[in-house]
Structure 1
């Protein structure tokens, strides 16, 4: 695998908007692991140069980012993402466990969000899910009856 540390902001003004500058340089968001709110996330960008793809990789924790890494092909990008995916998963799990161990209430905490979803789901979503399951069961019965009727018609002797 070949990669290089790459500074996509060389020559950029000090107050540049990161996304806007990357787009001006031909980069567009590509694959990522984790989101903006994740404890650790990886985002890749892709651009076409001389008829071939280049990929730029950005790794961030909640406070800071790494230097950008550039790879020259999709295989190398997948290799980097595969190497980093366990770290992203571990960071997410540690963040979740730490959040659950916290004694205070946090409007963005995992336990609070799950509790709110459960409370909301019991009163609003659960009845809709039950109706949906009943509709699916009725549809499955209808399809089974149609198949049985078709089989019966196919096995009946012709007159």
Structure 2
């Protein structure tokens, strides 16, 4: 697949192995409800990977004229990419999946260290989340931290007295 000579940042469709301009929005009024217009034009959500609401994600739609793909995060989204066949969609997904995977792993590592309550590393924090569950984790980690601090204080006291 190659880019066409006119390499702007608008929507694209793949035709004969080349990306060409294709403007999904040109048929829509300025105040259009894009999700409703997509549905009205026969585009149905196909599947998504990643988390386009936070970190990087990919959303796809299927219609009678092929497939649409859009890459998004919480702040922005890409132009639509339109392909005619499922194998072409799979090729696009294979190119984008590593970026989505890296963003997901980064988000997981950030989330594992969000509380800052455990002295261990990422593995220990993930194990604590798995052991305690998401809902009770913060309180349990806070309690463990207090207990560790109290035990350390008692050891210091005993060394000073002994």
User: How would you bin the TM-score normalised by the shorter chain?
Assistant: 0.5 to 0.7
Give distance in 2, aligned partners of 1:59 and 1:27: 16
**Residue matched to 2:49:** 33
Match of 1:82 in 2: 94
Residue 55 (structure 1) aligns with: 67
After superposition, what is the alpha-carbon deviation per residue over 1:91-131, rounded to whole angstroms, capped at 9, x for unaligned?
011112123334579xxxx97976553749xxxxxxxxxxx
Query: Separation in 1 of the partners of 2:115 and 2:129?
Result: 15
Q: Tell me how far apart the structure 2 counterparts of residues 113 and 6 of structure 1 sit (CA, whole Å).
A: 46
Cα shift at 1:11: 2.5
TM-score after normalising by structure 2: 0.57
What value does the CA root-mean-square deviation take over the aligned residues? 2.9
Could you tell me how far apart the structure 2 residues matched to 1:113 and 1:17 are? 40
2:21 and 2:60 map into 1 onto residues whose CA distance is 14
Greater helix content: 1
For structure 2, the 5+ residue unaligned runs are 2-16, 118-124, 138-162
> Which 5+ residue runs of structure 1 have no aligned equivalent?
121-159
What is the deviation of 1:4?
Answer: 4.1
1:29-54, CA deviations, whole angstroms, 9 ceiling, x for partnerless residues?
112212443401111111114xxxx1
Contact 1:5 1:69 in 2 (8 A): no
Q: Which has the higher contact order (CA 8 A, sep 6+)?
A: 1
More deviation, 93-102/21-30? 93-102
Structure 2: distance between partners of 1:42 and 1:4: 21
- Alpha carbons 1:4, 1:70 under 8 Å: kept: no
